[in-house]
Every structure is written in structure tokens, then in C-alpha cells.
Amino acid sequence: MTSKSHNHENVALITGANIGIGRITAIELAKNGFKVVIAGRSLERTQPVLDQINSLEVHQKPIFIPLELASLASVRECARLFIELNLPLHLLINNAGVAGQRGLTQDGFEMAFGINHLGHFLLTQLLLEKLQSSRLSRVITVSSRAHKRASGFDWEALRQPTKSWTGIQEYANSKLANVLFSSELAKRTHGSEISTYSLHPGVVDTEIWRAAPHWARKLLRLRGFLTPEEGALTTLHCAIHAPHQETGLYYADRQPMPTSALGCNAKLAADLWERSEIWVSQKPGK
């Protein structure tokens, strides 16, 4: 990708960058002068990415912070550890995600919703002051075109285990939550120096499809997968090149794109935000 050099104090925190789109994004950000902090489930599985960034001989050493998005306690600890580093935060990339994983998170939320939306919602909330105090910061949330297949939220169902057999409907709903979260965050940070972006990375050959039936993966491959390198381009565009004065837009193919009708429903976005605020402040199981 074309690179634009940033000064060395630029700091990016990215979730789920041990594999897939996140891994390429982290490496490219390091090449572009960012100090990269990777929040993920396993240091051991992230070590090859840290080694690869270190081998680039970039000025800033990458850092790993543990994060299990299915646990709000872990999200709180991750934010605490980040704040303890005493670094600014210019770029928060809510990238980690699951598709087709069924069940409940540790706090009793539907799995895709809990990991893809609620964990990132809390992480962003806890780092908002940090983002506000770091000049010209960006919050990028990796959503999906699948948000267009979302049916809206059954608020009760979000407190129950995944209902559909494939988990694909719940995935679509969680990706709608990503789009709505990003646009509502733009509204709530209006007048600050924070810009927000949500995006579809393309249909990319990564481990996200591990829970999908074999035939579905085959079908997707026939229709043409992007490589993770290609899949990282829209995130990198939003991180580095998209105009900072824009905020709240949804991107695909490195350009702003319309969302579904539900994706631009301001009332739904505000409702989701308010409910998410309550949910993350509740004791587990409530």
C-alpha cells in the first residue's frame, strides 16, 4: 500500500491481530510509523506478529495486552493496562470478531453480539478520554456487508444463547450493531477531534469462516476470496488516508458507501447505545 509517514508518537491499539485482516493491518500500521499495541487472547499466538514487526526494525516496539472480548472483566483489565502504559491513543481499531460461534459470553450475552459489539463498545467507552486527549484520533470498527442481512434487534434474544443453527443471522445483527455504534459514536463525539469509521473489508480468506460449513466455505472460495492483504486495505485507508473531518461514515472498497436502511436508523442507534451502556454496567448474569 502507499505509505504516508507518521511521526513516531502515533499509537494504534488493535483487537484480534494475531491472524487474518488484523495481523496485516498491525504490520502495515507499524510500517507507517505507528506504535502498535495488539490486544488479543494469546501472547503465544501473537508472538509471530510481534516478531515480524520487530524484524522491520521500526522505531517503536509493539506491545501485547491480553483481551478476551467474551468477558467484560477482561475488557476492563485490557483498558486499564493500556492506560497504565501512559501512551496517547490515536487509533483504536475494533477488528476482532467471530462468525458462527454459538452460545453465551461469560456475562450472559448472545455470543456474536457480546464479542463483536458489546466488548468493543465497552473498550471504546473506557478509552474515550484517552482518545479525546490524543489529537486527531480515529475509532475504526470492522463491520461487514453482512449487516445488510440483519433483521434488527430482538432485545430479549440478545440475553439468550445463539438461536440460529449457523449463527449467521446473529453475526449479521452484530455487524449491524457495529455500524450503528460507529455512527452514534460520531454523534456523541461531535465537536471533539475524534473521527469514527465502520467498514466492510471484503470477503476475505481468513479463519473467520472456521465455523462455517465446509460447503459454504467452498462456495465462497469459488466466488472469489480476497487475500488478507487485500482485506486490510479499507481499514488502512480509514486509518491513514480518509479525511479526518469526515466522521460516522461506512466504508467499503476504500470509499464511503451507503449502509442498509437499519444501518442509518438514528433511533435504533441511540437505543442500542443506551441499552449497551446499561448492559456493560450490570453485574454478570443480570
Ligand X SMILES: NC(=O)c1ccc[n+]([C@@H]2O[C@H](COP(=O)([O-])OP(=O)(O)OC[C@H]3O[C@@H](n4cnc5c(N)ncnc54)[C@H](OP(=O)(O)O)[C@@H]3O)[C@@H](O)[C@H]2O)c1
| For ligand X, the closer CB: 80 or 190 | 80
Q: How many CA atoms are closer than 13 Å to the CA of 107, on its beta-carbon side?
A: 26
State yes or no: residue 97 binds ligand X (CB under 6 A). yes
State yes or no: residue 79 binds ligand X (CB under 6 A). no
Q: Name the one range near ligand X by CB under 6 A: 3-11, 16-24, 54-62, 245-253.
A: 16-24
Q: Shortest Cβ distance from residue 127 to ligand X (Å)?
A: 16
| Contact mark string toward ligand X, 36..75, x via CB under 6 A | ----xxx--x---------------------xxxx-----
Q: Amino acid identity of 217?
A: R
| Known active-site residue 171 | yes
Q: Shortest Cβ distance from residue 260 to ligand X (Å)?
A: 14
Q: Name the one range near ligand X by CB under 6 A: 15-23, 55-63, 81-89, 263-271.
A: 15-23
Considering only 10, 32, 60, 95, the residue that binds ligand X (CB under 6 A) is: 95
Laid out side by side, the sheet with 91-94 consists of 63-66, 35-40, 11-15, 91-94, 137-142, 194-200, 249-252, 255-256
Q: Which of residues 17-36 bind ligand X (CB under 6 A)?
A: 18-22
State yes or no: residue 112 binds ligand X (CB under 6 A). no
Which cell numbers in the block locate residue 62? 509493539
Q: Shortest Cβ distance from residue 7 to ligand X (Å)?
A: 28
| For ligand X, the closer CB: 144 or 189 | 144
CB within 8 A of 83, min separation 6: which ones?
Answer: 127, 130
Q: Shortest Cβ distance from residue 174 to ligand X (Å)?
A: 8
Q: Shortest Cβ distance from residue 6 to ligand X (Å)?
A: 23
Q: Shortest Cβ distance from residue 118 to ligand X (Å)?
A: 11
Q: Which of residues 200-229 bind ligand X (CB under 6 A)?
A: 200-201, 203-204, 206-208
- Which listed residue (171, 197, 250, 251) is catalytic? 171
How big is the site for ligand X, counted in residues (CB under 6 A)? 29
Positions touching ligand X (CB under 6 A) are 15-16, 18-22, 40-42, 45, 67-70, 95-98, 115, 142, 144, 200-201, 203-204, 206-208
Catalytic residue numbers, as ranges = 171
